[in-house]
Structure 1
Amino acid sequence: MNKNIPILTADEIQKMQTAGRLAADVLKMLDNHVKAGVSTGKLDDLAHDYIVNTQHAIPACLGYHGFPKSICTSINHVVCHGIPDHDRILKDGDIINIDVTVIKDGYYGDTSKMWVIGEGSIMAQRICDVAQKALYAGMSVVKDGAYLGDIGAAIQSVVEPERFSIVREFCGHGLGKEFHCEPQVLHYGKKGTGVQLKSGMAITIEPMINQGVWQTKVMQDGWTAITKDRKLSAQWEHTLIVTDNGCIVTTARDDEDLSFIIS
């Protein structure tokens, strides 16, 4: 096992669950505001105020390696790390991923979800749905003794039959008292390969899937990653803590059915 991967204590797991719940609550709070006519800058303002003044927590993205905002807002062909902007107004047909990371008592909760604005196209709805199914497939194999390759293989088994591609330049990661730590969680792979999971490890699974090619490029702002062919991209993310028989989903929301998860 990689000695650089933290194993959380029972007290640390409790703190991770608190941070994860707060991150999930930010997405729930934003739900009524994510609609046509709203700017991504306004969504960032709402999230920042809620995290700081209601949750008394810290928005992890703000200032992280110079990132200028408190959340990431990635629209249509933006794969990840989109920067909120008061001039970017959501319109009918857009799809948007909002990625939220909260720090509470020194521990992190990291999660994201997709929205389809108004009447999205059949393709827009399909890529969002497949991305969520891919996340759940990856989550379903997490338990003590499983391998990181099992997660990637499970995600591939959902995405590739649908003729979408899996982004390879970005991946999930370890989480705890650091925003990003070992292990790197690839969203493709072979069963039985890679790092073996152990109870107490915390990871994110966050598959990014593209309508066209998997290749991406980063814009001049140094953050915004887009699909190379400018076709649609979708992503969902949860933070998980490995247990003997399954996992704890610290960022679970009450609008989703996670009954397939054994904790």
Structure 2
Amino acid sequence: MKVLLEIIALIVVDFLLVLTLELSFSAIFMIIVLWLVYGIVIVRRLAYSYKKKWLCILSKIYMWGIAIFVGSFILIEGFLVYNIGHHQSVESLEEVDYMIVLGAGLRGEDVSPTLKARLDQAIAYYNLHPKTMIIVSGGQGPDEVISEAEAMRKYLEEMGILRESIIKEDRSTTTLENIAFSKEILMTREETVESVLIITHDYHLFRAQMLAYFMGLESIGLSAESSLLGRINYLIREYPTMIIDFFRVNVNY
């Protein structure tokens, strides 16, 4: 009976997660985490009931694995939340020669609201520092009619930014490629680049700057603000992506 009540409680929590976050990656991820943590209870009960040595060893390995997993999740999410709380404003940023605006999906040939928010931050910075070159970074996805970089360029020009101030990077499909391909452009234009400005959303900036750091590119960050629900959703998604990108950048770069 006790086990049944526990399972029902978990199913109710799962339902609330889907209701809040919809059937998103973050909701699915949190549901899996809940059941993995509940697995500790199951393996401990099995080990206690059957008193088999191999079951005791298995339960300890499982518990340590979950403890490391949960601990790393809390640590990474803590870094991300701390970073969000210490983002700088446009006015407080120093002048740099280049900024990199990371792509974020399109609506037809137009920028999405998410991408517009990033570009508006770039425009605000450019208005204060009109000598800064803008690298718009984003390739063409399978469901997109033009590259994100092209749509970004069009939007910036419509908002009064000079075409000669805009550089397109239209090959990238991931954050890691955003930074890597943008760095390639920088290296063809400059012998050395002291620092660049990276513009993306608040939940995404830490990972973008981490990748830039491991690629030997010093950066400062400027973020567009996300909604509370969107921030929670994407912060959860950042956990596995951070780990994957950390290993990818250290292996490939």
TM range (shorter): under 0.3
Determine which structure has more spread, i.e. the larger CA radius of gyration. Answer: 2
Q: Return the structure number with greater helix share.
A: 2
Q: Return the structure number with greater strand share.
A: 1
Relative to the length of structure 2, the TM-score reads: 0.25
Relative to the length of structure 1, the TM-score reads: 0.25
* Structure with larger RCO (C-alpha < 8 A, sep 6+): 1
